[in-house]
Structure 1
């Protein structure tokens, strides 16, 4: 009986607001209908913290995923939102295949739907996302008014040219030090600093991924403290002091774990966030001690050295990739294979900065190839040969992704280059791929898949083939 009463308490406050809408607090509510012209078939997910009520205005973070995976996105932020008292919402209909204007309209309809449903604090409206979703979020304040902040995970500013002091927002970027966007975020900070945009960068040990809950909670707390400093939100000394003390503790823990550069990042951010509230002497003293240490100076120097090497290598990647695409330079695939083997060696290096650089370079190259694939695929006259070259290259840079092999096999069958098709078929099966239905349903392979050579290779690895060769009979 107690459990039934508790569930009613969770649902009733919003059930009163809309007889047809029942939303549970403290969990993700999916497939909620979007209101507004053009949004009849659109849906979104919503998260309300457990202490939500309709009698006060709430901060909201609208999260964007360019595959429309709203539930997955909210699940990554729900713990931080629960802790910091934020509402979360995310559309199921954003797609990277849609135009920017179409995605902005979808996002705007979601925002307006949430505004109509729930009491939102209009000075505490934020947007965010990871990767392409984060990059899209940095553009939203240009098109939708009253966005006060952007939280971007693993993505830098999409376009610095559209930034203006007349439409400023608080930018918080989060990235792993092995993320290929790590360096780009650092460059974004320089631009934002020059334009006097408030901004923070939160770094953690990891790659291109959702940030740990602690980092996302710090980001939301930073938004809250920023509004306290402006007077938009009543000052809460308990929250302010907790942030200050936790920052000192985190910095000391990182330093004791031989991570002085991450400790510096924590202290720099704490100095900026805490500055409007009180005395900074302890933070300044900690930073001075840190920067005078031999460990800090040594690691800072090493990091800068590898940053330089990384920049030069990225320039090489960009130059050779452009040349290879223009000339369909299949002969240079061996050079690219060598580059990947060099990165594999760096992955095993005892030097932490070299290992991170290898991860960033691999991510950068794959992103660069994907960008070129998207550009070529959307041309009025699609260059199939260039696409084929890039997919062959991706079998080298992303050898565990079956899509790349399948694309090459399909194109090879289309141009009746069965020798190349057989080679990539075997390379695909060597990875452990076993989706025989997909293989025999592959586009353009109607003639290719009935050949004895095709079926012999399939039988060799899967012990099954749709068409048996003479030898097997």
Structure 2
């Protein structure tokens, strides 16, 4: 990685503009020197090939370049960023993704005139961790937009005193990594790295356009403060209004915690440019409110409970996965999940329900990601344990049973293969193209039972 980024800076200086249509997502552009690696590209409406450009490299956890780029087009047009997203980096080993990113960067910097002071990365879930890792390793990234996940703790790719990028995190209040994002903030604050965490009503997925725009607003403010871009008062006022509207809406909904959080964000970011004395006074008043203090205490209590519940389930998982089996055919899980849902998922308090959903999502992610890791190591016994647990966690979903069908196709257990495939289709898995392209299913494409199943959906 280090060796590559000597080439990185050479390419920034020597880059030759390439010609592509502006204002349209262009998918699957081939990377020179690579047999099968491609990327999606978006050139903003105001793109000028003769000028140095800002660029955002986007990383999607499922290697969906078009999806990754499409998430940022509105903000890219507003602030004039080139967007690039690999169709090959995905959740998996970092070394593989670093190698792909090296080739992508080398190609892009040879194709476009990029401003080396305006290189940004962004990602969702595992792609967010990759985006931050690249910023840490290269020390050449101006800012990171982390969506739905932070960075890998206790790894060489953690930000440190030597890091100098700005970080803005976006996370929904039902996202499994919600609490993680606040730990990210605590870590970055230790090293005085500029950062913001923006929360909103949502689950674990790419953020909506309005939240992406808020992230770009903040990065633009950082660029002004660093002298990277010329200050634009109209942009500052518009960004202030967007933030103030969120705070005012929270007040109208009597959500004091969110209101204070948003007002404090305004104080941190606009104090030097706009008059905010009245907001400062409002924050002091709200923090003295007994309701606020009660809500703050309850929030801390829920965070602690979330950690305790997550640890309880994770310990059970770790004990069983080592043996690649459960002694009671997942009876413990079924009983505990039933109690959990009754007590927490159906709680009258919406914040408590959000906490429970986060734990539920976290368990599903644990099962899926662990299974994928074991599959890469060809540890099929443990992978099967994980996917069977996934089916227990999500008995009405289609994806768990598709994964189980893959396992049994691999081991040539036809009865279980077709049983799980039928369940997957019955639960709504109707992507026939995906089924026809699944590697493990290839020997059975002409099997009468497979043909009959596909024809019925």
TM-score when scaled to structure 2?
0.83
Shift of residue 113, structure 1, vs aligned partner: 3.1
The answer for the alignment partner of 2:37 in structure 1 is 42
Q: For residues 34 and 145 of structure 1, do their structure 2 counterparts lie closer, same or farther at Cα, with a shift above 3 Å needed?
A: farther
Residue in structure 2 matched with residue 7 of structure 1 by the alignment:
none
- Equivalence for 2:148: 154
- Match status 1:122 vs 2:116: yes
> Is 1:183 aligned with 2:183?
no
1:94 paired with 2:89, answer yes
Mark the runs of 5 or more structure 1 residues left unpaired by the alignment: 1-16, 465-473
Partner in structure 2 of residue 469 of structure 1: none
Matched, 1:110 2:108: no
**Whole-Å Cα distance in 1 between the matches of residues 441 and 418 of structure 2?**
15
Aligned match of 1:333: 330
The structure-2 alpha-carbon separation of the partners of 1:104 and 1:421, relative to structure 1 and needing over 3 Å to count, comes to closer
| SS class of match (1:309) | helix
Residue 237 of structure 1 is aligned with which of 225, 233, 237? Answer: 233
| Pairing 1:375–2:370 present | no
| Matched-pair contact (CA < 8 Å) for 2:56–2:121 | yes
Superposed CA RMSD in Å reads 3.4
C-alpha contact (below 8 Å) 2:54/2:118 kept by paired residues: yes
- Label 1:411 to 1:230 Cα distance change in 2 as closer, same or farther (>3 A): closer
Counterpart-to-counterpart distance in 1, 2:361 and 2:276: 38
Deviations for 1:288-310, whole angstroms, at most 9, x for unmatched residues? 23323344333322222221211
Give CA-to-partner distance per residue, 1:141-185, whole Å, 9 cap, x none: 233341111111001112455323223211111000110111011
Cα distance in 1 between the residues matched to 2:373 and 2:169: 27
Residues 263-282 of structure 1: matches in 2 within 5 Å?
263-282=259-278
What is the count of residue pairs matched by the alignment? 434
Aligned equivalent of 1:352: 350
- Bigger Rg, which one: 1
What are the within-5 Å matches in structure 2 for residues 202-213 of structure 1?
Answer: 202-213=198-209
Q: What is the TM-score when the length of structure 1 is the normalising length?
A: 0.81
2:307 aligned with 1:308: no
* SS in structure 2 at match of 1:320: helix
Task: Using the TM superposition, name which of 389-398 and 112-121 deviates more.
Answer: 112-121
Matches of 2:40 and 2:440, distance apart in 1? 35
Deviation digits for residues 332-364 of structure 1 (CA, Å, limit 9, x no counterpart) = 512212333345444443311111011100111
* SS of corresponding position for 2:72: helix
Matches of 2:413 and 2:108 in 1, distance apart?
54
How far is 1:53 from its partner?
1.9
* Residue 434 to residue 391, structure 1, CA distance change in 2 (3 Å): same
Where in structure 2 are there 5+ consecutive unaligned residues? 1-15
Q: Which has the higher contact order (CA 8 A, sep 6+)?
A: 2
The CA distance in 2 between the partners of 1:410 and 1:211, in whole Å, is: 31
Which secondary structure state, in structure 1, belongs to the residue aligned with residue 55 of structure 2? strand
Question: What is residue 129 of structure 2 aligned with on the other side?
Answer: 135
1 CA distance for matches of 2:265 and 2:247?
Answer: 11
Query: Which residue among 12, 22, 37 is the counterpart of 1:25?
Result: 22
Of residues 301-310 and 148-157 in structure 1, the stretch that sits farther from structure 2 once superposed is: 301-310
Q: Map 1:1-16 to 2 at 5 A.
A: none
Q: Give the structure 1 partner of residue 364 of structure 2.
A: 366
- CA–CA distance in 1 between the matches of 2:318 and 2:233? 55
Which 10-residue stretch deviates more, 295-304 or 186-195?
295-304
Deviating more after overlay: 105-114 vs 303-312: 105-114
Find the aligned partners of 2:311 and 2:399 in 1 and give their Cα distance. 27
